[in-house]
C-alpha cells in the first residue's frame, strides 16, 4: 500500500513549528485592524472585517498557553474554514506549504498534556525540527472558561 502524502500550511508560534491541513485554509493575510469584543474570552483578540464578512480572530499563543507575543510584533492571520464559518488564527510568522508522508507521522504524544495537547493531532518528525499538526476545529472552539 502506497504511503499517502499530506499538505500543511505551516506557521511559527513562539518558535514552535505548526501546521494545519492546507484544505482547511481559506487564506493567509497580513495583520488586520481588529475590533475589540467586550467580555470575550482572553483567546478572542477581536473581530476582523474580511471583505464584508466578520471573522473572529483567535490568539493561538493564548489558546496554546504559550508566552505572550512581544508588543512590537504584529501577528499574521491564517483564516481557516470551520463548521461554524471562518476563523482567523493569529500566528507569529507564516511558513510554506509542506508535503509530508504518513510514514513519518506519529499520533499525539502522551507527553503533551493539558489544553495544548488536546489541540495537537500528531507530529511529523522532519529532518531539522518537529511539525506539530493543529486540530483546527478544536483550536477554534472557544468557551467562556477560555
pLDDT band at 112; cut points 50, 70, 90:
low
pLDDT band at 117; cut points 50, 70, 90:
confident
What torsion do the CA atoms of 108, 110, 113, 118 make, to the nearest 10 degrees? 30
The per-residue pLDDT for 146 is 47
Residue 146 in domain: no
- Tens digits of per-residue pLDDT, 54-102? 999 999 999 999 999 999 999 999 999 998 899 999 999 999 999 998 8
CA-to-CA distance for 105 and 124, rounded, in angstroms? 5
CATH number at residue 113: 2.40.50.180
Residue 68 in domain: yes
- Tens digits of per-residue pLDDT, 35-57? 999 999 999 999 999 999 999 99
Domain span at residue 11 reads: 5-140
Residue 25 in domain: yes
- The count of structural domains within the chain is 1
Residue 113 in domain: yes
Residue given cell 504511503 in the structure block: 3
Residue 75 in domain: yes
Residue 145 in domain: no
Residue 23 in domain: yes
The per-residue pLDDT for 145 is 46
Amino acid at each position: 500500500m502506497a504511503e499517502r502524502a499530506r499538505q500543511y500550511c505551516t506557521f511559527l508560534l513562539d518558535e514552535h513549528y505548526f501546521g494545519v491541513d492546507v484544505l482547511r485554509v481559506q487564506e493567509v493575510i497580513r495583520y488586520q485592524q481588529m475590533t475589540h469584543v467586550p467580555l470575550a474570552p482572553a483567546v478572542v483578540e477581536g473581530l476582523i472585517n474580511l471583505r464584508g464578512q466578520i471573522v473572529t480572530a483567535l490568539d493561538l499563543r493564548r489558546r496554546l498557553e504559550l508566552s505572550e507575543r512581544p508588543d512590537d510584533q504584529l501577528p499574521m492571520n491564517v483564516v481557516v474554514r470551520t463548521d461554524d464559518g471562518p476563523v482567523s488564527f493569529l500566528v507569529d510568522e507564516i511558513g510554506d506549504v509542506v508535503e509530508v508522508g504518513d510514514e513519518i507521522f506519529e499520533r499525539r504524544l502522551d507527553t503533551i498534556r493539558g489544553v495544548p495537547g488536546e489541540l495537537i493531532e500528531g507530529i511529523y518528525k522532519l529532518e531539522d525540527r518537529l511539525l506539530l499538526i493543529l486540530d483546527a476545529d478544536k483550536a477554534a472552539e472557544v468557551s467562556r472558561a477560555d
